[in-house]
A and B are shown apart, each in its own frame.
Chain A
Amino acid sequence: EIVLTQSPATLSLSPGERATLSCRASQSVSSYLAWYQQKPGQAPRLLMSDASNRATGIPARFSGSGSGTDFTLTISSLEPEDFAVYYCHQRSKWPWTFGQGTTVGVK
């Protein structure tokens, strides 16, 4: 099973600041990595597919990069609605797996 390790577990930032989230895979997943955002009481929402393709309706302040084992989700300037939990997910090999999540909280 491919283990995805997200860091940091928690980010405390202020609106307007830049957020950098990391996801590291235990073996190469090529570019078959996605990012999701989840707010309390809501279902997850797809942000990014195949490492760097923004999903429909996702603002340009969200960007993704990486391939192989190291990936990054960047939020260039945090808006109030961006404070949430973010998960990475690999679909390179069965079983599909998720990272444990990074919480972006208000400082």
Chain B
Amino acid sequence: EVQLLESGGGLVQPGGSLRLSCTASGFAFSNFALSWVRQAPGKGLEWVSTIGTGDDTYYADSVKGRFTISRDISKGTLYLQMNSLRADDTAIYYCARNPVGGFFDSWGQGTLVTVSP
């Protein structure tokens, strides 16, 4: 069974940093692209970032230059390093798996990031 488990969320002040982790199991981690998708309270879904199987990376304009996606294949873990956090980064952050088709076929349960003084 595919499982994705996010951790690392919490309360952080504006301008601060946070690193999210997503531990994967039940599939060949290195064979899939992986993404972060967020959802602000009461709002819709927003794609944040994707890392491909060749470690190519892609970012939404809203986070480019502030967030960094990476993966550790030996640990089966996806990361999102978030710097210079702003109030509008407050959201539930989901990690999701991307098969070859590029859609999101499995999702974690999400981790809440709150950016507030």
Chain A residues in contact with chain B, CB under 8 A?
Answer: 1, 32, 34, 36, 38, 43-46, 49-50, 55, 87, 89, 91, 94-101
Closest to A89 in B: B103
- Say whether B44 contacts A55, CB under 8 Å: no
Question: Does B67 sit at the interface, judged by CB under 8 A?
Answer: no
Chain A residues whose CB sits within 8 angstroms of the CB of B106 once the complex forms:
46
Question: Does B102 sit at the interface, judged by CB under 8 A?
Answer: yes
Chain A residues whose CB sits within 8 angstroms of the CB of B29 once the complex forms:
none
A100 to B108, CA, bound (A): 21
Chain A residues whose CB sits within 8 angstroms of the CB of B79 once the complex forms:
none
Chain B residues whose CB sits within 8 angstroms of the CB of A44 once the complex forms:
37, 45, 94, 104, 107
Q: A43-B109, A44-B37, A50-B103 are in contact. List 20 more A-B contacts (CB 8 A).
A: A1-B61, A32-B102, A34-B104, A36-B45, A36-B104, A38-B45, A43-B94, A46-B106, A49-B101, A49-B103, A49-B105, A50-B101, A55-B105, A87-B45, A95-B58, A95-B61, A96-B102, A98-B45, A100-B44, A101-B44
Question: Does B50 sit at the interface, judged by CB under 8 A?
Answer: yes
A36-B104, A89-B103, A91-B102 known; A43+B47 contact, CB < 8 A = no
Chain B residues in contact with chain A, CB under 8 A?
Answer: 37, 44-47, 50, 58-61, 94, 101-110
Smallest beta-carbon distance B94→chain A, Å: 6
A49 to B103, CA, bound (A): 7
Chain B residues whose CB sits within 8 angstroms of the CB of A97 once the complex forms:
47
- Say whether A95 contacts B47, CB under 8 Å: yes
- Say whether A96 contacts B45, CB under 8 Å: no
Closest to A38 in B: B45
Most buried by B among A38, A91, A96, A100: A96
Chain A residues whose CB sits within 8 angstroms of the CB of B101 once the complex forms:
49-50, 91
